[in-house]
Chain A
Amino acid sequence: MIKRTPIAWLQLSHRPLRLAAALAGVGFANVLVFFQLGLSGGLYDSQKRPIQQFNGTLAVIPRRYTNFGEPAGFPRSRLTQVLGFQGVRGVSPLQLGKLQWLNPETQASTQALVMGVDPGNPALMPSEIGAQRSSLQLQGGVLFDKASKDSAGPVKTRLKQGQPFTTELNGQRTSVSGLFQLGLTFAADINLITSTSNFQSLFPDRDPDEIQIGVVQLQSDADSSDVQSRLNEVLGPSLQVLSIEELQQREVEHWKRNTSFGLIFGLGVLVGFSVGGIVVYQILYSEVGEHISEYATMKAMGYDDRFVVLIIIQESIILASLAILPSLIVSALLYRVLMQATGLLVVMSFSRAALVFTMTLLLCSGSGSGSGWLATAKLRRLDPADVFRA
């Protein structure tokens, strides 16, 4: 049974307008952090999208692999070797390379990531690839990612109108024979998929036997970690077999650790949390100031520092709890706008919502260093004798 009067809640709810203003402040801090996390999460998640579309369970990559946009190659025959393993149902080669795409209207060049797949057993599985298998096999034909930047030219408009779109790719005449949806990465502003034979024509200097990634399909009853471990043993030190999830993680780690993106987005999130912390601190500090004489009275009555500090911490927990739902709704709307405007994969996840809620609680209550603790420093110094008029 609750014996004590719920002072924190009564104090907050006694003035509804002031409570609404405090909630708006905490909510703003939440939205700020959600925005930064959404932006950085969206950018990292976007790097994983092509790998998530791999048509298989495991991926074979060269040991020197750094990231999806700059992969090293290895002989196709090494992938064929994998076919002989127990539990392996099939393999699909994926060739990757970058070329300059010419916008025929502006004559401006944009970097394009070209993905070469076997039309009979594509390494990527967007549904549009299977449906446009014959288009893929047309000489000089490529499929164009709908998420590509507009700097590529009016490709989608032309195709929707039933008109062909022809341009130059690395100086070679190329026509877009269809569209697919994959999503952009940091690697390039345009994604293209073509057949392995067209890929060879576009990259004549490449060894035709060289592929960049091998996608491995397993039999339904195969133990993927067992197959992965056996493949790693047999394929030797020059190759590495990862699960699709591990490869995604490796991609994100590359961008976080080996590029300035990690620092920029990390700082963004840090700034978001810091500004949020300052906003919350201001709210709590003002709350303490508003009720300072009441806290002094409590101390004069025999309530200790811990009790009055706990009131503020309870208030901050109430504020954080009440502010999270409206913040989530506003942030989800913001994510939608961001996703539509940038094509980034910005979605609200339970883990992100839980992280922001936890961080807000910590910022508010502060187990030793947060805003709540700073805001209540004035309380701990408060002299209860001040309640008496001299």
Chain B
Amino acid sequence: MTEQKPLVEIKDLNHWFGDGDQRKQVLRSINLTVQPGEITILLGPSGSGKTTLLTMVGGLRSAQNGSLRIFNEELRQTSKTNLTRLRRKVGFIFQAHNLMPYLNSQQNVRLGLEVVPEWLEQGRAAMNHRCNEVLGQVGPGERIDYFPSKLSGGQKQRVAIARALAASPQLLLADEPIAALDKDSGRDVVDLFRTLARDNKTAIVMVTHDNKILDIADRIVKLEQGSLVE
């Protein structure tokens, strides 16, 4: 069996916020690899650097020191254009769902497809078909024409999850993805994550405070004051 290349490879990563006297180190010598199909859960108290690490892995922040590679590309000195390109290969689930209030559920999910040139080329009908399919998988399939203002918190979060999953990303980053869901819905979503990891080899990095879903993790890593405790 050939050895797989890790989708995320972090070596000796340090990160600071602020300048001069205000400079504060938020990540210290982080070393982490995430393989395709692996589910990694990030735990840690508030302010420990979980979200900062997640945003750096997603190419939302540039690495200042050390090495951070995703999809076998170094992010430390890469261009803004390349970062944007790499983000298209990553599925993001934001804690605050971040849906567009002027788009209905289907349009919000389609936004996650239209950013991918291959999907855009397939046209509106193909994209709508995929949107309906993934909305059906995560829950609010019957509410495809509802605007976020007409959806409950849990339904909004499921639309946001559908948006992140629509383009079948190889890497899924999730910040408290089931915090707004009830127990059963949350379990459905994490089961879906597990299926994605197993069947599609999607690598998943998830920040959560919910101990009930730790069972799906292949690896649990803990951040304390910017340092990784595995």
Q: A interface vs B, CB < 8 Å?
A: 1-5, 7, 10-11, 13-15, 293-294, 297-304, 383-385, 387-390
**New contact pairs (18) apart from A5-B114, A297-B94, CB-CB < 8 Å:** A2-B124, A3-B127, A4-B120, A10-B102, A11-B100, A13-B102, A297-B98, A297-B100, A299-B84, A301-B88, A301-B92, A302-B89, A302-B116, A387-B94, A388-B54, A388-B55, A388-B60, A389-B96
At the interface, yes or no: B208 with Cβ under 8 Å from chain A?
no
Q: B interface vs A, CB < 8 Å?
A: 47, 51-52, 54-55, 58, 60-61, 81, 84-90, 92, 94-96, 98, 100-103, 107, 110-112, 114-116, 120, 123-124, 127, 175
Residue pair A5, B123 in contact (C-beta under 8 Å): no
Residue pair A301, B87 in contact (C-beta under 8 Å): yes
Q: With a 10 A CB-CB cut-off, give which of A3, A10, A388 has the most chain B CB atoms.
A: A388
Residue pair A10, B95 in contact (C-beta under 8 Å): no
Residue pair B120, A300 in contact (C-beta under 8 Å): no
Instruction: Tell me how far the C-beta of B50 lies from the nearest C-beta in chain A, rounded to whole angstroms.
Output: 9
Determine the distance from Cα of A323 to Cα of B112 in the docked complex, in whole angstroms: 33
Q: Which residue of B81, B95, B98 is within 8 Å of A304 (Cβ)? A: B81
20 contacts between A and B (CB under 8 A): A3-B114, A3-B124, A5-B107, A11-B102, A14-B101, A294-B101, A297-B94, A297-B98, A298-B115, A299-B87, A301-B88, A301-B92, A301-B112, A302-B85, A302-B86, A303-B115, A385-B60, A385-B61, A387-B94, A388-B51
Instruction: Tell me how far the C-beta of A293 lies from the nearest C-beta in chain B, rounded to whole angstroms.
Output: 7
Instruction: Tell me how far the C-beta of A1 lies from the nearest C-beta in chain B, rounded to whole angstroms.
Output: 6
CB-CB < 8 A to B127: which residues of A? 3
Q: Which residue of A4, A14, A15, A390 is within 8 Å of B114 (Cβ)? A: A4
Residue pair A3, B123 in contact (C-beta under 8 Å): yes
Residue pair A300, B92 in contact (C-beta under 8 Å): yes
Residue pair A388, B94 in contact (C-beta under 8 Å): yes
How many A-B contacts at CB < 8 Å in the complex? 86
Residue pair A1, B124 in contact (C-beta under 8 Å): yes
CB-CB < 8 A to A390: which residues of B? 47, 51-52
Determine the distance from Cα of A389 to Cα of B123 in the docked complex, in whole angstroms: 34
CB-CB < 8 A to B88: which residues of A? 301-302
Q: Given contacts A5-B114, A301-B112, is CB(A10)–CB(B98) below 8 Å?
A: no
Residue pair A384, B124 in contact (C-beta under 8 Å): no
Q: Which residue of B47, B100, B175 is within 8 Å of A294 (Cβ)? A: B100
Residue pair A302, B120 in contact (C-beta under 8 Å): no
CB-CB < 8 A to A11: which residues of B? 100, 102
Q: Which residue of A5, A15, A299, A384 is within 8 Å of B111 (Cβ)? A: A5
CB-CB < 8 A to A7: which residues of B? 100, 102-103
List 7 A-B pairs, minimum CB-CB distance, nearest first.
A302-B88, A14-B102, A302-B87, A385-B60, A297-B98, A385-B55, A302-B115
CB-CB < 8 A to B124: which residues of A? 1-3
Instruction: Tell me how far the C-beta of A292 lies from the nearest C-beta in chain B, rounded to whole angstroms.
Output: 12
CB-CB < 8 A to B98: which residues of A? 293-294, 297, 387
CB nearest to A389 among chain B residues: B95
Instruction: Tell me how far the C-beta of B228 lies from the nearest C-beta in chain A, rounded to whole angstroms.
Output: 18
Q: Which residue of A293, A304, A383 is within 8 Å of B84 (Cβ)? A: A304
Instruction: Tell me how far the C-beta of A223 lies from the nearest C-beta in chain B, rounded to whole angstroms.
Output: 60
Determine the distance from Cα of A189 to Cα of B86 in the docked complex, in whole angstroms: 73
CB-CB < 8 A to B175: which residues of A? 388-389
CB-CB < 8 A to B52: which residues of A? 390
Instruction: Tell me how far the C-beta of B123 lies from the nearest C-beta in chain A, rounded to whole angstroms.
Output: 6
Determine the distance from Cα of A93 to Cα of B162 in the docked complex, in whole angstroms: 86
CB nearest to A6 among chain B residues: B107
CB-CB < 8 A to B94: which residues of A? 297, 300, 387-388
Instruction: Tell me how far the C-beta of B75 lies from the nearest C-beta in chain A, rounded to whole angstroms.
Output: 13
Instruction: Tell me how far the C-beta of A15 lies from the nearest C-beta in chain B, rounded to whole angstroms.
Output: 8
CB-CB < 8 A to A302: which residues of B? 84-90, 115-116
Q: With a 10 A CB-CB cut-off, give which of A4, A11, A302, A387 has the most chain B CB atoms.
A: A302
CB-CB < 8 A to B103: which residues of A? 5, 7, 10
